A and B are shown apart, each in its own frame.
Chain A
Amino acid sequence: MTQVARVDRGFMTAGIGMAVVGAALFAIGLGGKDWIHSYFFGYMFWLVLTIGCLGLTLLHHTARGHWGFPVVRIFEAGGGPLAIALCGLGTIPIIMNLPALYPWADAALVAKDPILQTKSFYNNEGFWIARVALSFVILAVFAAVNQAWLKKEEQTGDDRWRQRRVNFSAIGLVFFVLIVNFLYTDLGMSQEKHWFSTIYGVWLLVMGALGALGLASAILGTQHNKSPYDKVVEPWLTKDLGNLMLAFTMLWAYFSFSQYLIIWSGNLPEFTKFFLKRSDGMWFWLANGLMITGFFIPFLLLLAPRTKRVPQIFGFVGGYILVIRAIDMFFVTVPTYRYQLSVYPADIGALLLVGGVWCAAFAFVLRTAPLVTYRTPELKEAADHA
């Protein structure tokens, strides 16, 4: 008799533990004025992961590849309406501290900066809050519709719900990328006073997709001998997911590096600022380390067929890719306000505290439905031929 995978229980325990430890660490930083920066880093990591999960859900419903069925529940729990609603609520501390994060919200700064003044028709508190709120509402609707329609198909066995999801998600994916681009621009990029990059939004989007795939792979890899995953974790599945992770790893490297290369060779003051901060002092070593740990190591690991065949190795590589995203996000967000590379306890605290809530919500949603959708004919076919 095979054991039953209790992913929800594991994540609930981990979530509570993370929240308690995180709250204690985060409390250390609450006295200072930097806590909101720590919070923003922790929040962004989980927001990007959530949106990555939602993006892969939409991609799965559009493409209907076999690889999606065994993991779509994970993506639904990670990028479902509840997770997105929580991410929306998570903006409240940010909204309450806008001037500490966004130069355009700092009246004194705007008064002496003509560039910020010109942008103020777009970057002002009211419009910003409205845009961010609207983004979360639309994303939550996208997630809720797909989740409800998948459930309907499972209950009724009616194939038409599948086609409806395809029609909805294919168009939804286009709007998803647009909306998320605006959201990341508002939340992250507008923290830089004058700097802008057109690849910023998709850069973070790919980070999220990579994190979500890493999460799913880690779950599959560690639970591969427990029901129901023992029936679906086969070499073809880990190979497909591994190749997708490999593609996203290359895309991440391409976005990260092409952005740097264009700015570096252009050498214009308003653009180089972003990378000057990130190559100063110890940040330089973090940037270089990220090239090795974020690209070369996972790239070479995922090239090897063995990684994509042995579930344990596959799960380990997935977990590694997810963990690296935290360093990645630290590099993207924190240097904006910190001139020297230093990790505060509150940074770890915020990451764990937000993560604890996220994991608890993840576990809560995961419990409401079977881990794998069996009604979908593709999976049956895949399971038969495996």
Chain B
Amino acid sequence: MSHGRDTAPKRYGVVASFRTPEELLAAANRTREAGYRKIDGFSPIPVEGLTDVLKFDESILGWITFGHGVLGACIGVGLQWWTSNFAYSHNVGGKPLSSWPMFFPVTYECTILLAAFGATFGMIALNGLPKPHQPIFNAEAMVRASQDRFVLLVEASDPNFDETKVKAFMQTLDPESVEAVWTSEGY
């Protein structure tokens, strides 16, 4: 049955594989200098300085977390204000019904609870997870990217992307291998 969607394999990008983190870092630097912006790196170990070269967009996750935190604080204060003034108003030790010092612990807990939810689920949503199919794994080079190889990707969504040109450019970076990556049939 057709879903009316084009499910034929599409260009995803070009990957090059390197033997050392230093080579990957140098290659990423040169790729960036060559004008490519949609680039990514895959490595079995953290490569110091790589994130600075890849220049990930500034995430809005901080704002999502902050917004949820503020929401949590409002819920915490609101809940306690309502319960102590209306739902279960009791005289505790002669203190006023709206005793704000006592509101702090619950407000604080609600703030961090919702902020943590915002951070966790916001991160999952922003990453587009769950993602059963990630085209990058169609690349031969990725088999060893979690073991002993360092992989650089130029995505097809890059405005300057031209498969032959990118392939030729990546050959000049002294890689172990260069290959084009396509999405799988049906996605």
Report which A residues bind B (CB closer than 8 A).
Answer: 257, 260-261, 264-265, 267, 303, 305, 385
Contact call B101/A385, Cβ cutoff below 8 A = no
Chain A neighbourhood of B49, CB < 8 A: 385
B102 contacts A by Cβ under 8 Å? yes
Query: Shortest beta-carbon distance, B143 to chain A, in Å?
Result: 30
Contact call A261/B101, Cβ cutoff below 8 A = yes
Query: Shortest beta-carbon distance, B167 to chain A, in Å?
Result: 31
B48 contacts A by Cβ under 8 Å? yes
Which of A265, A303, A385 is the one whose CB lies under 8 Å from B102?
A: A265
Contact call A265/B48, Cβ cutoff below 8 A = no
Chain A neighbourhood of B95, CB < 8 A: 267
Contact call A264/B101, Cβ cutoff below 8 A = yes
Contact with A along B40-58 (1 / 0, CB 8 A): 0000000011000000001
Query: Shortest beta-carbon distance, B86 to chain A, in Å?
Result: 22
Minimum CB distance partner of B65 in chain A: A303
Question: Can you list 18 A-B pairs, Cβ within 8 angstroms, ordered by A?
Answer: A257-B104, A260-B101, A261-B101, A261-B102, A261-B104, A261-B105, A264-B101, A265-B93, A265-B101, A265-B102, A267-B93, A267-B95, A303-B62, A303-B66, A305-B58, A305-B62, A385-B48, A385-B49
Chain B neighbourhood of A260, CB < 8 A: 101
Chain A neighbourhood of B93, CB < 8 A: 265, 267
Report which B residues bind A (CB closer than 8 A).
Answer: 48-49, 58, 62, 66, 93, 95, 101-102, 104-105
Chain A neighbourhood of B58, CB < 8 A: 305
Chain B neighbourhood of A265, CB < 8 A: 93, 101-102
Query: Shortest beta-carbon distance, B121 to chain A, in Å?
Result: 20
Question: How far is it, in angstroms, between the C-alpha of A267 and the C-alpha of B62 when the chains are bound?
Answer: 40
Chain B neighbourhood of A305, CB < 8 A: 58, 62
- If A261-B104, A265-B102 are given as contacts, then 8 extra A-B residue pairs at C-beta distance below 8 Å, sorted by A number, are A260-B101, A261-B101, A261-B102, A264-B101, A267-B95, A303-B66, A305-B58, A385-B49
Query: Shortest beta-carbon distance, A259 to chain B, in Å?
Result: 11
Question: How far is it, in angstroms, between the C-alpha of A332 and the C-alpha of B73 when the chains are bound?
Answer: 29
State the total of A-B contacts with C-beta under 8 angstroms. 18
Query: 6 closest Cβ contacts across the A-B interface?
Result: A264-B101, A261-B101, A385-B49, A267-B93, A385-B48, A261-B104
Question: How far is it, in angstroms, between the C-alpha of A260 and the C-alpha of B62 when the chains are bound?
Answer: 31
Question: How far is it, in angstroms, between the C-alpha of A265 and the C-alpha of B105 when the chains are bound?
Answer: 12
Chain A neighbourhood of B102, CB < 8 A: 261, 265
Question: How far is it, in angstroms, between the C-alpha of A260 and the C-alpha of B99 when the chains are bound?
Answer: 13
Query: Shortest beta-carbon distance, B1 to chain A, in Å?
Result: 48
Chain A neighbourhood of B105, CB < 8 A: 261
Query: Shortest beta-carbon distance, A51 to chain B, in Å?
Result: 29
Question: How far is it, in angstroms, between the C-alpha of A305 and the C-alpha of B59 when the chains are bound?
Answer: 11
Question: How far is it, in angstroms, between the C-alpha of A261 and the C-alpha of B102 when the chains are bound?
Answer: 7
Query: Shortest beta-carbon distance, A361 to chain B, in Å?
Result: 40
Find the residue from B101, B104, B105 having the highest chain A CB count within 10 A.
B101
Question: How far is it, in angstroms, between the C-alpha of A261 and the C-alpha of B66 when the chains are bound?
Answer: 25
Question: How far is it, in angstroms, between the C-alpha of A80 and the C-alpha of B102 when the chains are bound?
Answer: 42
Minimum CB distance partner of B102 in chain A: A265
Question: How far is it, in angstroms, between the C-alpha of A99 and the C-alpha of B48 when the chains are bound?
Answer: 60
Query: Shortest beta-carbon distance, B95 to chain A, in Å?
Result: 8
Question: How far is it, in angstroms, between the C-alpha of A305 and the C-alpha of B65 when the chains are bound?
Answer: 14
Minimum CB distance partner of B93 in chain A: A267
Chain A neighbourhood of B66, CB < 8 A: 303
Query: Shortest beta-carbon distance, B51 to chain A, in Å?
Result: 12
Question: How far is it, in angstroms, between the C-alpha of A260 and the C-alpha of B104 when the chains are bound?
Answer: 11
Question: How far is it, in angstroms, between the C-alpha of A257 and the C-alpha of B93 when the chains are bound?
Answer: 20
Query: Shortest beta-carbon distance, B126 to chain A, in Å?
Result: 17
Query: Shortest beta-carbon distance, B87 to chain A, in Å?
Result: 21
Chain B neighbourhood of A261, CB < 8 A: 101-102, 104-105
Question: How far is it, in angstroms, between the C-alpha of A186 and the C-alpha of B48 when the chains are bound?
Answer: 48
Query: Shortest beta-carbon distance, A265 to chain B, in Å?
Result: 7
Question: How far is it, in angstroms, between the C-alpha of A261 and the C-alpha of B101 when the chains are bound?
Answer: 6
Query: Shortest beta-carbon distance, B21 to chain A, in Å?
Result: 13
Query: Shortest beta-carbon distance, B68 to chain A, in Å?
Result: 14
Question: How far is it, in angstroms, between the C-alpha of A305 and the C-alpha of B58 when the chains are bound?
Answer: 10
Question: How far is it, in angstroms, between the C-alpha of A285 and the C-alpha of B146 when the chains are bound?
Answer: 59
Chain A neighbourhood of B62, CB < 8 A: 303, 305
Query: Shortest beta-carbon distance, B74 to chain A, in Å?
Result: 15
Minimum CB distance partner of A264 in chain B: B101
Question: How far is it, in angstroms, between the C-alpha of A264 and the C-alpha of B101 when the chains are bound?
Answer: 8
Question: How far is it, in angstroms, between the C-alpha of A257 and the C-alpha of B104 when the chains are bound?
Answer: 9
Question: How far is it, in angstroms, between the C-alpha of A266 and the C-alpha of B26 when the chains are bound?
Answer: 63
Chain B neighbourhood of A264, CB < 8 A: 101
Query: Shortest beta-carbon distance, B62 to chain A, in Å?
Result: 7
Query: Shortest beta-carbon distance, A319 to chain B, in Å?
Result: 25
Question: How far is it, in angstroms, between the C-alpha of A260 and the C-alpha of B58 when the chains are bound?
Answer: 39
Query: Shortest beta-carbon distance, A157 to chain B, in Å?
Result: 25
Question: How far is it, in angstroms, between the C-alpha of A260 and the C-alpha of B95 when the chains are bound?
Answer: 15
Minimum CB distance partner of B62 in chain A: A305
Question: How far is it, in angstroms, between the C-alpha of A383 and the C-alpha of B93 when the chains are bound?
Answer: 59
Minimum CB distance partner of B69 in chain A: A303
Minimum CB distance partner of B105 in chain A: A261
Query: Shortest beta-carbon distance, B90 to chain A, in Å?
Result: 15
Query: Shortest beta-carbon distance, A272 to chain B, in Å?
Result: 12
Question: How far is it, in angstroms, between the C-alpha of A260 and the C-alpha of B66 when the chains are bound?
Answer: 27
